[in-house]
Structures are given as structure tokens and as C-alpha cells.
Amino acid sequence: MKTIHKYSLGEDTGLVKVALKAGYQLVRFEHVLAEKALFVWVEEPLRADIPQVEVHFKVIKTGEPVQDTYQYVSTAVDVLGPETYHLYLDTRPQAALTQAA
């Protein structure tokens, strides 16, 4: 079995760390007006024996530079404001992420 979980990315455009079950699939990225925040919805397995993986997302606004190690995932639009947000997955190995922190 599997389910969909909702994770808040806030309005921050920094690197966001999320622990997800291995085999996850991102199904939606959206700017929620009522909460003035960015969220991702992720489909994850429910089995307890499936390990978690640490995933690093980066939100980048239109026109900002994107590192070569980031992989595009999705886009969310603030329909009442001028901002458009692009979600990227940081594909650097975990050791590189630890050293960069």
C-alpha cells in the first residue's frame, strides 16, 4: 500500500531537507494562497520495512541562477503575486551535502 503526504517548504528559497520513504514519487508542487507557503505532495510506500532517504529540495524563483547539480522537478505560480517558483532536487551525493553545510 501507499499514501500521499503533504510537506511544507515554506516561502524560503534555501535548501530544504525532507526524509521520504525510498521509492517516493512527487505528485504535486503548489503555492497555497491561504497559507502563503509552498508545499509538495509526495506518494510514499506505507510498509514499515522500507528505509527513509534524505532528499534535498531547492526552490528557485524565475530568473535566478540554477546550479548544475540541481534537477528540475516542477513549477508553482503565486496567482495573486508576481512570483513563480521552480522546484529542484539537489542530486549531489550525501557526503558532498554534509561538507557544504
- Can you spell out the DSSP letters for 44-73? EE--TTSPEEEEEEEEEETTS---TTEEEE
Q: Please state the domain count of the chain.
A: 1
Task: Look up the domain containing 19 and give its range.
Answer: 2-100
Q: Per residue of the chain (101 residues), what is the pLDDT tens digit? A: 999 999 999 766 678 999 999 999 999 999 998 888 999 999 999 999 999 999 999 999 999 999 999 999 999 998 888 889 999 999 987 634 444 54
Q: How many whole angstroms separate alpha carbon 35 and alpha carbon 32?
A: 6
Q: Where are the alpha helices (DSSP H) in 18-101?
A: 94-100
pTM confidence score:
0.84
